[in-house]
Structure formats: structure tokens, C-alpha cells
């Protein structure tokens, strides 16, 4: 479908030196603020078409451009009435319905915008093997979208849709229990495995920090791979690397001798098992609020960290969790070998269970009162 433009019609006139009532101004393009590392890059393709034969008022052009910057794209601009900032005279304009157009951007201006986007893409590893000519060719396949913090981009089990590339922001990769598996940042790719295999999405992708994403639609994916073999090779290497990393992680988990899910072995039972068997080592957990770490020496608890809390407070919060993954490594860091125990283990455990029961009772009481 052709891009659209917003028409602003002059409805009120007060000594304007350039325009008269009924004149129409056409606004098109997009704008985007990219936060890349330590710097912000602002991209705009705003095009303002002045009535044919009329002079250009830079004040009015600036006013219309600001509207596009504020809303980021033409289709987000609502019906509205605006006043120009004014010089010797003033005008009032009304935004009317969008209008489809074939070529709102002059060829030279369009080429300039494509060059700018191509230069930006060259900074990302997936596109670094492409020369300038190929980068320009791939631009028409790309779509931009901004996701707010907390938004879900992909949901585990959903059908494959697009190949996604992160321009800015951070996303979490979550399992079926919403436990974090990893984080992806600028330049990283996701969604490719489902598109290649045809299988449903293998993990949920949720935005941690407002993210700007460029994506290639699934229906264009094969064409892009056929047209740009270097991208095909990049994705093949990416898949191989991810598979190798997954195998390494799995091997480490098996070697650790103790892995599992909290849904199968709750924290209280897990902690008791380590205490009764007088285990020494580090227990790490992937939980809904982040990672947790507990150090045991001969079954006694010596340190605990979770959700910005330490020792007993962290232990009490961990014991409330019902979902997550755990791994125990039977080796204690040298720095922890002489650390004093937090306290008598069974006393801490019973205190934690009591606090958890009290919290549950209070929550149930509040539900009944409502």
C-alpha cells in the first residue's frame, strides 16, 4: 500500500503574507528517536508540500514538522486544529483525512533518506557484510516499530511472524513460566528460528526498556534470504552459535548434579535437602523478579541475594516463590569459605515459612473483606 499524507487546510486568515483561506498543505513521512549506546540519533523524513506556486514559510513548515515529530508517524496524527506560530500575520489550519499518494517525496530527497537509513544499518552485525548498494536495496523490506516497557513482542507458542532486529532498548527472553532465560540488546536478532523451522515461537519476548525494533515480515523473509545470501549465512552462523551455547549450558547443568524446577521442588524442600545432606556450594535460581544466589557451607546458609535484598530478607522472599528454575554447583568461591553463617538453619527456615503463611493469610483475609 502506498504511504499516506495528512492534509492541513487553512481555515482562518489574519494578515498572512504568504497564504490565503482554502490553501492546503500536505504532510508526510515519519520520525524516530533512536537511543544508541551513549548517543541519541534522531531520524525524520518529514515532507511538507506547499501549495503550488506559493512561497515557503519556514515558520509554518517548522510547526507542521513538530506535529509529525510529536506523533512519530502520519497515521498517529489525529484530526486537529492548529495555529501557526505567527510572524506579521497568523493562520489557523485544520487536519483533514489522510490521502493516499504515489510519490510524496521527491526522488532526490527519497534517495537522501535511504542513504541515511542504509548508513545506520551498516552499524549492525547482521548487515555489515552488505555493501552500500545492497543496504539500499534492503531498506524497502524493513518496517520500524517502537515498543513500550512491559509490552510483549512475541509470545511462546504463537506462530512465526517476522524477523526482528533491535535498534535500541532491551528485551527479556522468557520461558513458559515467565522466568528470564536471557536478555537481548542493540543489534541482536530474534524470531529467525521460528521462521526457518516453521515451528511456533519457542520463547516469550518482553520489553524491559523501551525498544525500537526493525523487522522483516515473514512473507518477505524468503525473498530477503534469496536476494542477500550473506544474511542467510549470518543467520546460519547465529543458529549454530545458539545451539552450541545451549549445549554448553545443558552440559554444565548436568555436570552440576542438581537442576530442576521450583514447581516440582519448592524452595523450602530444596533448602532442607541441601541442609540435611550438608552440601557445600552455590545455589542459583532464575525467578520472576530476577536471579537469586545462595551460598551453603556444610548445609548452613552463609549468604543470600535476591531482588536487591540480602541474607535473611532475601531468603524470606525467595521462600515465597513458586515458579522458577534452580541449579546447584558443588563448589564455593574462595571469598565465601570463611564467611560466618547467617544463623541456625532450621530457625531461619521456620521463621521464613511462618512469615510466608502470615502473608498468605492476610491476602486471603483481604480478598474475603472485598
> Which residue did the predictor score with more confidence, 364 or 19?
19
Same domain, 177 and 243: yes
List, for residues 235-251, the tens digit of each pLDDT value.
878 877 776 666 666 55
Same domain, 97 and 134: no
Same domain, 69 and 152: no
Same domain, 218 and 302: no
Looking at residues 315-333, what average pLDDT do you find? 89
Contact 5, 98 (CB under 8 A): yes
Its domain, for residue 138, covers 109-252
Query: What is the domain-level CATH number for residue 143?
Result: 2.60.120.10
**pLDDT number for residue 1:** 33
Q: Alpha-carbon dihedral of residues 155, 159, 161, 162, nearest 10 degrees?
A: 60
**Given a cut of 90, is residue 351 above it in pLDDT?**
no
> Which residue did the predictor score with more confidence, 155 or 42?
155
**pLDDT number for residue 204:** 92
C-alpha cell at 1: 500500500
248 — alpha (psi -120 to 50), left (phi > 0) or beta?
alpha
Alpha-carbon gap, residue 224 to 218, rounded angstroms: 10
Same domain, 100 and 21: yes
Same domain, 134 and 199: yes
Q: Last residue of some domain: 230, 252, 274?
A: 252
Same domain, 247 and 359: no
Q: Which of 238-247, 303-312, 353-362 has the lowest mean pLDDT?
A: 238-247
**Given a cut of 60, is residue 37 above it in pLDDT?**
no
The structural domain count of the chain equals 3
Looking at residues 55-67, what average pLDDT do you find? 86
Same domain, 162 and 216: yes
N- to C-terminal Cα distance for the chain?
A: 52
Same domain, 67 and 141: no
List, for residues 247-274, the tens digit of each pLDDT value.
666 555 555 557 888 888 888 888 988 8
C-alpha cell at 351: 521463621
Q: Last residue of some domain: 105, 122, 145?
A: 105
Same domain, 264 and 311: yes
Q: Last residue of some domain: 231, 252, 273?
A: 252
Q: Annotate 21-35 with b (16+ C-beta within 10 A) or e (fewer).
A: eebebbbbbbbbebb
From the list 80, 104, 100, 82, the residue with the least C-alpha distance to 91 is 82
Same domain, 224 and 118: yes
List, for residues 111-165, the tens digit of each pLDDT value.
555 666 667 777 778 887 787 777 778 888 888 888 999 999 999 888 878 989 8
Contact 308, 289 (CB under 8 A): no
CA atoms within 13 A on the CB side of 142: 19
pTM for the full model?
0.46
- Cβ contacts of residue 63 below 8 Å, gap of 6+? 82, 84, 85
Amino acid at each position: 500500500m502506498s504511504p499516506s499524507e495528512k492534509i492541513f487546510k487553512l481555515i482562518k486568515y489574519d494578515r498572512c503574507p504568504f497564504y490565503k483561506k482554502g490553501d492546503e498543505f500536505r504532510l508526510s513521512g515519519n520520525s524516530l528517536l533512536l537511543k544508541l549506546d551513549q548517543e541519541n540519533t534522531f531520524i525524520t523524513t518529514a515532507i511538507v508540500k506547499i501549495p503550488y506556486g506559493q512561497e515557503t514559510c519556514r515558520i509554518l513548515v517548522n510547526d507542521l514538522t513538530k506535529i509529525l515529530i510529536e506523533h512519530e508517524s502520519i497515521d498517529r496524527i489525529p484530526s486537529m486544529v492548529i495555529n501557526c506560530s505567527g510572524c506579521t500575520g497568523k493562520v489557523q489550519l485544520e487536519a483533514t483525512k489522510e490521502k493516499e499518494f504515489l510519490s510524496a517525496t521527491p526522488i532526490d530527497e527519497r534517495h537522501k533518506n535511504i542513504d541515511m537509513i542504509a548508513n545506520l544499518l551498516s552499524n549492525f552485525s547482521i548487515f555489515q557484510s552488505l555493501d552500500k548498494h545492497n543496504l539500499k536495496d534492503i531498506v524497502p523490506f524493513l518496517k520500524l516499530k517502537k515498543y513500550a516497557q512491559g509490552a510483549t513482542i512475541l509470545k511462546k507458542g504463537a506462530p512465526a511472524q517476522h524477523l526482528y532486529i533491535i535498534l535500541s532498548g532491551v528485551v527479556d527472553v522468557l520461558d513458559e513460566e515467565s522466568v528470564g532465560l536471557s536478555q537481548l540488546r542493540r543489534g541482536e536478532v530474534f524470531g529467525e528460528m521460528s521462521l526457518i523451522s516453521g515451528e511456533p515461537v519457542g520463547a516469550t519476548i518482553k520489553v524491559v526498556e523501551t525498544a525500537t525494533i526493525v523487522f522483516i515480515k515473514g512473507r518477505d523473509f524468503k525473498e530477503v534470504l534469496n536476494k542477500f545470501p550473506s544474511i542467510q549465512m549470518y543467520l546460519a552462523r547465529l543458529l549454530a552459535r545458539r545451539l552450541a551455547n545451549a549445549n554448553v549450558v545443558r552440559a554444565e547443568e548436568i555436570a552440576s548434579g542438581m537442576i530442576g524446577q521450583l514447581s516440582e521442588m519448592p524452595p523450602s524442600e530444596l533448602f532442607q535437602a541441601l541442609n540435611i545432606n550438608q552440601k557445600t556450594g552455590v545455589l542459583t535460581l532464575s525467578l520472576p523478579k530476577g536471579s537469586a544466589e545462595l551460598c551453603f557451607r556444610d548445609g548452613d546458609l552463609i549468604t543470600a541475594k535476591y531482588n536487591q535484598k540480602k541474607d535473611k530478607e532475601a531468603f524470606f522472599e525467595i521462600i515465597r516463590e513458586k515458579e522458577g528454575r534452580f541449579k546447584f554447583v558443588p563448589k564455593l568461591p574462595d571469598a565465601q569459605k570463611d564467611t560466618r553463617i547467617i544463623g541456625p538453619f532450621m530457625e531461619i527456615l521456620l521463621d521464613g515459612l511462618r512469615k510466608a503463611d502470615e502473608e498468605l493469610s492476610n491476602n486471603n483475609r483481604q480478598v474475603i473483606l472485598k
